[in-house]
Every structure is written in structure tokens, then in C-alpha cells.
Amino acid sequence: MLVESFGISGKKSYRGTAKWVGASALAISMLGMTPANSQAAIAYNVVDLGLLPSNIASAALGLTSSGTAVGYSIASDASQRAVLYQSGNVTEIGSLGGAANTAYGINNLGRIVGQTAVGSNQHPFYVDSFGAGSVQDLGTFGGANGQTNAVSLTGQMVGAAQDGSGRSFAFTTTGGSLVHLDPTDINGNATGTGLGDTTGGASSSALGVNSAGIIVGQASDATGATRAFVYSGGTMAALPTLGGSGGFDAANAINSTNQIVGSAIDANNSEVAYLYSLTSVDGSGAHGTMTPIGLLAGGSTSNALSINDAGVVVGTGDTDSSSADAFIYQSGLLTDLNSLIDPNNGWQLASATGINSAGQIVGFGIIDGAQHAFLLNPTAIPEPGTLGLITLAATPLLLRRRRR
């Protein structure tokens, strides 16, 4: 089953609550990275998903169970188009005008979600039939900007949209209309977040949803800290921290067995990728088990971006070479994906943004000095023991959460 997440700002922007950032900034920041030197048995073949004609950069941010992907492609004038990667072709997804569009997610029925330019603003959108339908503007809560971050297999959409005061609030959808996850007044306006922030700086964003309708994301709490949350049965509950305070935590994705991935601030005030196994949500909060994921060799940051139903996690982290490297986390072992591909193919895999039930992985990396979207096809199912030969420190990750 497809796990619908992402994705980020290429940081889904990546989907931040306080900023509406275009993914194109990422395209420029990762040039000049060199491939990793360590290499185990080749476990994945890399497919270059390509670009729109005359474009200079691209990224894949979500995929279906059959390997169809969505993301963005950037032209030399920095204009950005939402695109569909299917059957070896790159196709622009229609927009509502403008040149700053991104597709963050797609489900198996072909519903695509993301953010599209509407005049000088950005609105959440969806389009059905693998982009062949009409683009639908979901609107906002009265403000300028918004984005749809994820779609479930049942078609439920989640994201964030601004109100008239400029505050950003999490939403889900009913019948194509936005519905607040946060408390509202008699006029239907949010009074604050579900985690207790009623100030002028209150904000929240829904980042992932599974087929049971359980939603994850991030929201400010009564202290002003941004916390990862899970929303189930009408209750928004904060996930545990990793010992940090005043942080910028996030829950990025959730699978069908209610495993959640994201990043959280640890006791050293660093951001750390985690896997949280949710058992229940009630009036006293979220209940489950929090597991820090780890660091790539020499690294100080990482971020878990997607998880499939087998519990295999992918994301991104830095290394001792100061590059951003895509990773896979499986059976308690963290591995740089660059060590699982042919070292002579010229790729530097920077971020893995999605993984499906077949083990296919999408993301973006550097090839011939340019950022391109990629699809990884498994050559065989990696054995946990094989991954262990090249896996690295299982120490808690120092993270600086930018969803890359």
C-alpha cells in the first residue's frame, strides 16, 4: 500500500507551518556534491526521471504502488511546474496560472495534490485521473496561501491554509471543502491550535494521512513550541519529544499500521529523525513507542520523510562530507542509499521522499552537476544483514529540520 506523505517543501517546500517556501530553493543548494565512496552489493538501479524540456532541475516527492511519481520541474528563469512522471515521460500538471507549482502527493487512483499559483498567492489544489482532470482550487481559510500536502488511498486530503490574519492552520477535506482540525468559534474561524496555542502566532499544518483517516503534522502548543501531532477521532494530541524543549518537531507521514515518522528536538537541542509506533489516542494524549533512528557516518542531521506498510523508512541526512544523502532505515539499521547503488553511475542521492510497498523509492539527487528526480528500483530485497555491513551509527541524530 502506498503511504501518502510528502512531501517537502523539496523540503516539501518542504511543508512548513510558518513559511510558504518554494521547493526551487533546494535545486540550487545541492550542486557540487560528490558521490559517496563506500559501497556494498548493488541493491537498487537508479532511473533518471528527467525534466520538462529546457528545464534545469527536478524532484520527485510522492509515488503510487506502481511507481508513478509526482513532483516539480524548474526552468532557467526559476519558474516551477508541477509534473507527473509516468511510463518514462514527464508531463506538466495543469495549474491555475502562474509559475510556482508543486505536486506533493498522489494516490493509487490518480488523485494528485499540491500547491499552485493563483495570481501572486499560492493555493492548495487537487486534480484527478493522473492529471487528466480539471485542476481544483481548494481555497484557503480567508488568507493568501495554502497547500495540500498529502492524499490518502481513499482520497482524503490534508494540508495547511492561512486565515485572514495570516495564521496558517491544518485542514482536512469533506466533499472538496476545507475543514479545520483546530478548535473554531461560532463563525467557523480557528481560535487557536488543537495543542493549546491561542496567540497571534498560532499555526498548524497537516502533513500526512492514512486510509483510516488518522492525520499527522505539526502545531504550536501553549508554550509556543512547534510539536508533532496526531489527530484521531476528533482529538489532536502531541507526540512525545526526544527530550528537547522549545523545538520545531514534525510528524511527516503515517502508514496503515499507524507507524509515524518525522523529526524532533533532542536534549542537545538538535533535531533527530524518529519512528513512532502509535497504539492509541485519547483525552490524555498519544500513546505508543518513540524510537530515534540514527545518524549517517559523520553526520549531524537527518529527517525521516516516508514509511511504507512494511515499516521501511526513507529520508535524508547530512554526512561528514557536508553533503545531503538519502537514507533507508530497516530492521533497526540505517544505511546511506548511495552505498546501495552502482558507484560508477555518477549519482549523488540527496533525499529519499517516498517509498511504496514494492520497495521502490523516489526522491532527488545530483547527476552531471544538476538536480534530477530519481526512481530506485530494487534489484533484490536487501537482507538486513547486508544492510548492516554498511550501516552506520545508531546514535541519536542531530537534526536541523528542514524537510528537504
pLDDT tens per residue, range 18-36: 222 233 333 333 333 333 3
The band of 242, judged by pLDDT with boundaries at 50, 70 and 90, is confident
Question: CA neighbours within 13 Å on the CB side: how many for 380?
Answer: 7
The band of 295, judged by pLDDT with boundaries at 50, 70 and 90, is confident
The answer on pLDDT for 257 being more than 90 is yes
- Could you give the number of structural domains in the chain? 1
Which set of grid coordinates corresponds to residue 305?
Answer: 520523510
Instruction: Identify the domain containing residue 240 by its residue range.
Output: 24-29+39-390
Is there a domain that residue 12 lies in? no
Q: Which of 281, 308, 292, 272 is nearest to 63 (CA)?
A: 308
pLDDT tens per residue, range 128-168: 999 999 999 999 999 999 999 999 999 999 999 999 999 99
The band of 402, judged by pLDDT with boundaries at 50, 70 and 90, is very low
CATH number of the domain within which 359 lies: 2.130.10.150
pLDDT of residue 276: 98
For every residue of the chain, which 3-state class applies, written as one string?
A: CCCCCCCCECCECCCCCCCCCCCHHHHHHCCCCCCCCCCCCCCEEEEEEECCCCEEEEEEEEECCCCCEEEEEEECCCCEEEEEEECCEEEECCCCCCCECEEEEECCCCCEEEEEEECCEEEEEEECHHHCCCCEECCCEEEEEEEEEEECCCCCEEEEEEECCCCEEEEEEECCEEEECCCECCCCCECCCCCECCCCCCCEEEEEECCCCCEEEEEEECCCCEEEEEEECCEEEECCCEECCCCECEEEEECCCCEEEEEEEECCCCEEEEEEEEEEEECCEEEEEEEECCCCCCCCCEEEEEECCCCCEEEEEECCCCCEEEEEEECCEEEEHHHHCCCCCCCEEEEEEEECCCCCEEEEEEECCEEEEEEEEECCCCCHHHHHHHCCCCCCCCCCCCCC
The band of 317, judged by pLDDT with boundaries at 50, 70 and 90, is very high
pLDDT of residue 244: 79
Q: Which residues contact 385 (CB under 8 A, 6 or more apart)?
A: none
The answer on pLDDT for 205 being more than 80 is yes
Which set of grid coordinates corresponds to residue 136?
Answer: 481544483
Q: Which residues contact 212 (CB under 8 A, 6 or more apart)?
A: 256, 258
Is there a domain that residue 19 lies in? no
**Rounded mean pLDDT of the chain?**
85
Which set of grid coordinates corresponds to residue 364?
Answer: 532527488
For cell 523540503, the residue is: 11
Is there a domain that residue 395 lies in? no
Higher-pLDDT residue of 304 and 12 is 304
Interatomic CA distance for residues 161 and 195, integer angstroms: 17
Find the mean pLDDT for residues 319-347.
Answer: 93
Higher-pLDDT residue of 216 and 41 is 216
pLDDT of residue 272: 83
pLDDT of residue 320: 82
Interatomic CA distance for residues 53 and 56, integer angstroms: 9
Is there a domain that residue 96 lies in? yes
Which set of grid coordinates corresponds to residue 223?
Answer: 508554550
pLDDT tens per residue, range 367-390: 999 999 999 999 975 554 444 433
Higher-pLDDT residue of 14 and 297 is 297
Is there a domain that residue 3 lies in? no
Find the mean pLDDT for residues 352-366.
Answer: 98
Is there a domain that residue 1 lies in? no
pLDDT above 90 covers a percentage of the chain that reads 72
pLDDT of residue 313: 98
User: Greatest CA separation found in the chain?
Assistant: 62
Is there a domain that residue 268 lies in? yes
Question: CA neighbours within 13 Å on the CB side: how many for 199?
Answer: 9
Is there a domain that residue 302 lies in? yes
Interatomic CA distance for residues 205 and 219, integer angstroms: 6
Of 11-15, 78-82, 244-248, 292-296, give the range with the top mean pLDDT.
Answer: 78-82
